[in-house]
Chains A and B, each alone.
Chain A
């Protein structure tokens, strides 16, 4: 029993010892739907061309999120939760698409 408390305390204070927690990581990519005007992407494309690159036919700007999840989370459950987060918060389905990746 005592050992359990020690482990728990260690887990909560692991940063004191330079131990890094292992988390499951979710990555969410949000991009504008095809056809939705992206003036920022256009401005970036223009700058890239000024840098001397030719043959760039299009630049689209998106958003990237990293979400740390407790390691104990079940991978499928995690995917379900993060997909819901992506759909209901991180993206606006009227103008954006999203892609979820789970990294164990």
Chain B
């Protein structure tokens, strides 16, 4: 099993993700420059956080035109696992691999803090080692994480159990008070219809060691590794 981490000009969480996969999950991993198009040797892709293309135009808007993205679309269409974190989530939305869009935070602030996030479903390759309803402590760090979509899309996400993470209180209660950025329905992460593409605003790769304040993010990568091991 081999993980690939896509690097755009302006990605800055690529090395964090690399560290987690190689040291915490203990699996082979390689960087993929955004001009590369050959993804044949990879079993799972991570689109890391950062500011691809300096967030010019809209967050993620220019990255979607990078040569690698056509290959990512093909990779996803054939069932490959794609995990988009923060800017990676924004890129996946801009590329049409996930529905909706991420706009400026409700209160305009860049928010950087550890928050409680509730696991809503274990029916994804990224959460199948977790219990629905469990609460993870994971940091967010973004200015454009306010998830928006139309009513029909929201209904579809709810009906198909595709809301994977919601912002919540420490107790696990999902409330407006626990919503950091104004996201519709407290959405912190969603998956596509085939459930092999996940995007989330929180940074699980920054919460994989107790030394860093939380190791709750590790289960996401472990779930993915376990899924890959089962497939192989």
User: A residues near B, CB below 8 A?
Assistant: 36-40, 43, 89-90, 92, 94-95
Contact = CB atoms under 8 A, between A and B. Distances in A.
B104 interface: yes
B104 A95 contact: no
B155 interface: no
Given A36-B148, A90-B57, A95-B101, 12 more contacts: A36-B103, A37-B104, A37-B106, A39-B108, A40-B104, A40-B108, A43-B108, A92-B61, A92-B94, A94-B100, A94-B149, A95-B103
Contacts of B58: 92
A95 B107 CA distance: 18
B182 A89 contact: no
Interface on chain B toward A: helix, strand, loop, or mixed SS?
A: loop
19 contacts: A37-B103, A37-B106, A37-B148, A37-B182, A39-B104, A39-B105, A39-B106, A40-B108, A89-B57, A89-B61, A89-B65, A92-B58, A92-B94, A92-B101, A94-B101, A94-B149, A95-B101, A95-B103, A95-B148
Nearest to B104: A39
- Assign chain B's interface to a size class: 10 to 19
User: Quick one: which of B58, B94, B105 has the most chain A CB within 10 A?
Assistant: B58
Contacts of A38: 104
Interface string B85-120: 000000001100000110111111000000000000
B127 interface: no
B223 interface: no
A37 B101 contact: no
Contacts of A94: 93, 100-101, 148-150
A39 to B, nearest CB: 5
Contacts of B146: 37
Nearest to B62: A89
Interface string B182-193: 100000000000
A21 to B, nearest CB: 26
A38 B107 CA distance: 10
A46 to B, nearest CB: 11
Pick the most buried of A38, A39, A43: most chain B CB atoms within 10 A of its CB.
A39
A73 B104 CA distance: 37
Contacts of B150: 94
Interface in B132-185: 146, 148-150, 182
A93 to B, nearest CB: 9
Looking at B94, B148, B150, B182, which has the most chain A CB atoms within 10 Å of its CB? B148
A36 B146 CA distance: 11
Contacts of B148: 36-37, 94-95
A37 B101 CA distance: 12
A84 B182 CA distance: 31
